Structure 1
């Protein structure tokens, strides 16, 4: 994808990784449309940064369809979709009341959300001369954190979805690029923005932008820090990495 002249829709971009990337892409010269559930926050970001905005709830199929229609009407030149949809929940799988409702919500948002987003834009993107679908998985797709089983599984599903649709869409103008974040300081979990073991948000976003610009043909966007998890099985130190990842609780404490 061209970071300087694309028209990009990023749902879930009112905070965290999504917003950090949206700001940088806009600064490079791309047209960026951000989506989120809170109208007042969207309006503030529009006023402060000049984004185009659309209200969208990625857990709601009707909301996705309505937002897609609104985006494509206003931006018929849209050529990049960043399927940024994700929640993370700590779960206890010893009894259903400790995990079932959470697991259903995680799968709805993290797996069905991106699937429905891609479905809403796939035909349009294939009509563009060059287009990109960016999916967002996680290092936890490759090495599990015991406290967040559904999140790990949802991101593993996104990894395989990305691999599969890349093969299917190879005969089209659409590229599929998978962004694989490590732990990043954000509000994905309570207190995680202060987790000193996680990568600072600005450092992550800056490195991602550099990779997008210097490795434009890469299928996966991998900052250096996520390599520990992404390639653990290949290196042969998977058990040791699993133990290291799980030596701390989700809030970064011993």
Structure 2
């Protein structure tokens, strides 16, 4: 993926990593469309950041994805980058099925079915572009589990393998599949997490991501240095120590 000259749609980018990445990509000479569920928030983002386009989309709703895809492609027929940013993260207690089942199911719908449906809605168009990218968003927790978020961990592991598999299938097309693998970043993904001293500052994370996109345009995985501790624990042979350290520093752990 080139760092500039793209038209980029980022569903789930009204806050956190998504919005920060949208603004950095816009500043680097890209046309960026921000997607989200709340119309009033989209209106505020458009007013505060001239040049950003917005579209309402609920990635848990197939009809909303279809409608948003039609709207985006009608307004931006040169779209060549899709970033499947939308995601949720919830703590779960698996001692009590009544307390976690609904949350687990909604996590899978948002974090796994959402990206699958988004790719399905855009892949035919992206194949018509001479240089296109699908950027999926997994997590360092795809490779080492945080004990309080089982369904989130599993959903991101699914996204990792989905990315690997779709990349193989689309190798004969103009569409590249790039996987962004964030570590713990200071956002509101979990309550109070934006103040977690163990998490990476958001600006620092996005700066490193944009630098990696620029310096490694052919990368299959975008990995900031801080995620490699989680990403490669099994390969290094210290997976058990990684899992222990990860959960020892978790402020929500038990």
- Is the contact made by 1:64 and 1:120 (CA closer than 8 Å) also made in structure 2? yes
1:124 is displaced (CA, Å) by 0.2
Bigger mean CA deviation after superposition, 198-207 or 48-57: 48-57
**What whole-Å deviation, never above 9, does each CA across 1:32-74 have from its counterpart, x for those lacking one?**
0000011111011111112100000111111111000000000
Name the CA distance, whole Å, in 2 between partners of 1:85 and 1:160: 18
Say whether 1:66 aligns with 2:90: no
- Is the contact made by 1:59 and 1:109 (CA closer than 8 Å) also made in structure 2? yes
Name the CA distance, whole Å, in 1 between partners of 2:245 and 2:129: 44
Q: How many residues align?
A: 253
- Where in structure 1 are there 5+ consecutive unaligned residues? none
**What whole-Å deviation, never above 9, does each CA across 1:197-220 have from its counterpart, x for those lacking one?**
000000000000000000011100
Name the CA distance, whole Å, in 1 between partners of 2:185 and 2:36: 20
TM alignment of 1:199-218, pairs within 5 A:
199-218=200-219
TM alignment of 1:88-99, pairs within 5 A:
88-99=89-100
- Is the contact made by 1:8 and 1:82 (CA closer than 8 Å) also made in structure 2? yes
Q: Which residue of 2 aligns with 1:18?
A: 18
Say whether 1:219 aligns with 2:220: yes
Name the CA distance, whole Å, in 2 between partners of 1:3 and 1:45: 22
Say whether 1:34 aligns with 2:6: no
Name the CA distance, whole Å, in 2 between partners of 1:250 and 1:138: 18
- Is the contact made by 1:89 and 1:189 (CA closer than 8 Å) also made in structure 2? yes
Name the CA distance, whole Å, in 1 between partners of 2:93 and 2:16: 26
- Where in structure 2 are there 5+ consecutive unaligned residues? none
- Is the contact made by 1:136 and 1:158 (CA closer than 8 Å) also made in structure 2? yes
TM-score by length of 2: 0.98
For residue 246 of structure 1, give the secondary structure of its aligned residue in structure 2.
Answer: helix
1:250 is displaced (CA, Å) by 4.7
- Is the contact made by 2:198 and 2:249 (CA closer than 8 Å) also made in structure 1? no
For residue 166 of structure 2, give the secondary structure of its aligned residue in structure 1.
Answer: helix
Q: Which residue of 1 aligns with 2:199?
A: 198
Q: Which residue of 1 aligns with 2:140?
A: 139
TM-score by length of 1: 0.98
Q: Which residue of 2 aligns with 1:79?
A: 80
Bigger mean CA deviation after superposition, 148-157 or 85-94: 85-94
Q: Which residue of 2 aligns with 1:233?
A: 234
CA-based RMSD of the aligned residues comes to: 1.0
For residue 13 of structure 1, give the secondary structure of its aligned residue in structure 2.
Answer: coil
Name the CA distance, whole Å, in 1 between partners of 2:225 and 2:134: 22
Name the CA distance, whole Å, in 1 between partners of 2:249 and 2:131: 43
Say whether 1:183 aligns with 2:184: yes
